[in-house]
Amino acid sequence: MKRREFLRKSVLYGSAAVFAPSLLASCVEKAARQPLNIRQNPHKGKMNLSFFSYELQLRHTFTVATYSRKTTPDVQVRIEYEGYTGHGEASLPPYLGYTVEGTMAFLEKVDLSQFASPFLLEDILAYIDGLEEHQTPAKAAIDIALHDLVGQLTGQPLYALLGLNPDKVLDTCYTIGIDTPEVVREKTLECADMFNVLKVKVGYDGDEEMIRTIREVTDLPLVVDANQGWTDRRQALDKICWLREQGVQMIEQPMPKTMLDDIAWITQHSPLPVFADESVQRLADIPKLKGAFTGINIKLMKSTGIREAVKMINYARAEGMKVMLGCMTETSCAVTAAASLSPLVDFADLDGNLLISNDLYEGVGLCDGRLCLPDRPGLGLKDME
């Protein structure tokens, strides 16, 4: 199936449920998605935790300023309680520094038997956070699964649990990675009429060629992400000024996180809002970024999940900062969880499920470039047929 056709069907059906050119191929694909390596957490109680590793296959080699890859390691989590199953996910792109083995070792340690029900979110997640200092994707997986469970138990979609209006979800960006002009042109042509804003990866010598190539094809608004790729603040500011003339609306992480003073100087002079991504992981990171960035990019795999993400959004708002939601390459499990928060933020960059070819679920969809949340309880996931 051609990429364009896939994207169009994903827009309609909300995920990659479209790779079934024949019954046989469909069966093969379904079999390939069946977990063969389920591990049960040893602590038995009212809530039972299990998990399995699942390698995400990227549709295209994904290249940004600092790395390139074709797969993403991932661990899928299940928490069962009173006949319901909450789904969670830990996506582990190598640059985050976590591994499948480390994530599974952490999940083995978790003892949910001490808690009477998944409604004790604050207590459970405080306990989880205290088990180890890092392991943020594993913590996010449990947080997401618990929220899914609580939604199912109350019969409410996650957005309703959070008190949010599903009509206020946002458009999502669609990401164009660094590539040759020919490939960039082809990718842009394929997606330009299905999204309302595109995200372009920059931060290397070919930035201007990349933007000019895209501008030959579309005049859609753009956001750009330098992924820490620029190291000279004056050159970076010149690029940002030029990018603004090209219809770019904001810039993400222009320089390395270690160069905070230079980033603050850029933000002070920049005609575009400047968002932190690599510079911000969790709530405790935000205070030092005030004044250095216009806004922050929150990702569930960094924030330890939904509960802390909401706290981060509230804190950033109280400090007058803008907020965007991002994701890793993830299945529709974690992307749907993040999309449920999108009524609270300024930008959504939630295309991670569209970048993989072996999604496990149908969840959040797209309608004319806008996120579209399922109205089923919890995350509202359905297994991929």
The site map against Mg ion for 284-323 (x = CB under 5 A) is ----------------------------------------
Among the listed ranges 27-35, 45-53, 248-256, 336-344, the one in contact with Mg ion (CB under 5 A) is 248-256
Among the listed ranges 7-15, 33-41, 190-198, 275-283, the one in contact with Mg ion (CB under 5 A) is 275-283
Beta strands in the chain, from DSSP E residues, in sequence order: 39-40, 48-53, 56-63, 68-72, 74-81, 84-91, 174-176, 198-201, 222-225, 248-252, 274-276, 295-299, 322-326, 347-348, 361-362, 365-367, 370-372, 382-383
Among the listed ranges 87-95, 147-155, 228-236, 251-259, the one in contact with Mg ion (CB under 5 A) is 251-259
110 vs 321, beta carbon nearer Mg ion: 321
Residue 351 within binding range of Mg ion, rule CB under 5 A: no
Q: Which one of residues 225, 262, 351, 362 is an interface residue with Mg ion (CB under 5 A)?
A: 225
What the block records as the tokens of 257 is: 């996180």
Residue 349 within binding range of Mg ion, rule CB under 5 A: no
What residue number has its CB nearest to Mg ion? Answer: 277
Q: Which one of residues 190, 252, 308, 359 is an interface residue with Mg ion (CB under 5 A)?
A: 252
Residue 148 within binding range of Mg ion, rule CB under 5 A: no
Smallest distance, Mg ion to C-beta of residue 326, A:
6
* CA 324 – CA 380 distance, rounded (Å): 23
Secondary structure (3-state) at 203: coil
Asked if residue 296 lies in contact with residue 273, where contact means CB atoms within 8 angstroms, the answer is no
Asked if residue 379 lies in contact with residue 148, where contact means CB atoms within 8 angstroms, the answer is yes
The count of residues interacting with Mg ion (CB under 5 A) is 3
Residue 277 within binding range of Mg ion, rule CB under 5 A: yes
b/e per residue, 318-332, with b = 16+ CB within 10 A? eeebbbbbbbbbbbb
Smallest distance, Mg ion to C-beta of residue 1, A:
29
Of 140, 95, 28, give the one whose Cα is nearest residue 253.
95
Q: Which residues bind Mg ion (CB under 5 A)?
A: 225, 252, 277
